[in-house]
A and B are shown apart, each in its own frame.
Chain A
Amino acid sequence: ELKVEQNPLFLSMQEGKNYTIYCNYSTTSDRLYWYRQDPGKSLESLFVLLSNGAVKQEGRLMASLDTKARLSTLHITAAVHDLSATYFCAVDTRYGGATNKLIFGTGTLLAVQP
């Protein structure tokens, strides 16, 4: 059974600081997704990582994928309050198949303090 673990589950950080959220998964997969969810809102797609070594950047967020280590990271640079949200990673369980089934991590609640 595929398991997806994120850590930390909660992260309180100061504005201007850097930090990394980790996403570990337990079986082979070459596709990983990062989503953002604001309180009471839906999920917004941030990054799609489709191969080993993939790196994507958008603003202060950068995501990477190491399929050999079964690890993805979401790095936050010089955090600002607007980045406060819950971040989920999701792993594709049927790579190359008819459709994808995503298994989500439990999420990391990020609170950026002034």
Chain B
Amino acid sequence: NAGVTQTPKFQVLKTGQSMTLQCAQDMNHNSMYWYRQDPGMGLRLIYYSASEGTTDKGEVPNGYNVSRLNKREFSLRLESAAPSQTSVYFCASSLIPYNEQFFGPGTRLTVL
């Protein structure tokens, strides 16, 4: 039981490049989330998916898109990366109704 896994662990992009961050969970959770964490700040929600087939915007969705591929997988795409998107990205999942969220190991993204 791996929990929540994320790939890649590290990534360096140039401004304007695109990439997709992958997330998968094997806990049979219904809901999945993408957060970003910046120095001195807590986590901010980018997008979430309450269940397979649905996605909704969080606090900071601009510049990102998501896809809930199936119950296990939830990807985050940066279409045209900007330096302001340099951050650590965490994926999380939760089982309704308990709502405790379990986090992946994170992806450290640097945009030059």
Q: What band does the interface of chain A fall in when counting residues whose beta carbon is under 8 Å from B?
A: 20 to 34
Closest to A86 in B: B42
Pair B45/A102 contact, Cβ less than 8 Å: yes
Q: Cα distance A42–B104 when bound, in Å? A: 6
Contacts of A33 in B (CB 8 A): 100-101
Encoded as 1 (CB less than 8 Å from any A CB) or 0, chain B from 84 to 108 comes to 0000001010101011111111100
Contacts of A4 in B (CB 8 A): 42
Could you write out 23 A-B pairs with CB less than 8 Å apart?
Answer: A4-B42, A33-B100, A42-B90, A42-B103, A43-B103, A44-B103, A45-B100, A45-B101, A45-B102, A48-B98, A88-B42, A90-B42, A98-B50, A99-B30, A99-B31, A99-B94, A101-B45, A101-B48, A101-B58, A102-B45, A102-B101, A103-B59, A104-B44
* Chain A residues numbered 72-114 whose CB sits less than 8 Å from any CB in chain B: 88, 90, 92, 98-107
Closest to A99 in B: B50
Encoded as 1 (CB less than 8 Å from any B CB) or 0, chain A from 2 to 41 comes to 0010000000000000000000000000010101000001
Chain B interface mostly helix, strand, loop or mixed? loop
Pair A43/B40 contact, Cβ less than 8 Å: no
Give A14 Cβ to nearest chain B Cβ, in Å.
25
Q: What residues make up the interface of A, taking CB atoms closer than 8 Å to B?
A: 4, 31, 33, 35, 41-45, 48, 88, 90, 92, 98-107
B41 lies within 8 A of chain A by Cβ: yes
Q: Pick from A41, A98, A106: contact of B42, CB below 8 A.
A: A106
Pair A92/B99 contact, Cβ less than 8 Å: yes
Pair B42/A104 contact, Cβ less than 8 Å: yes
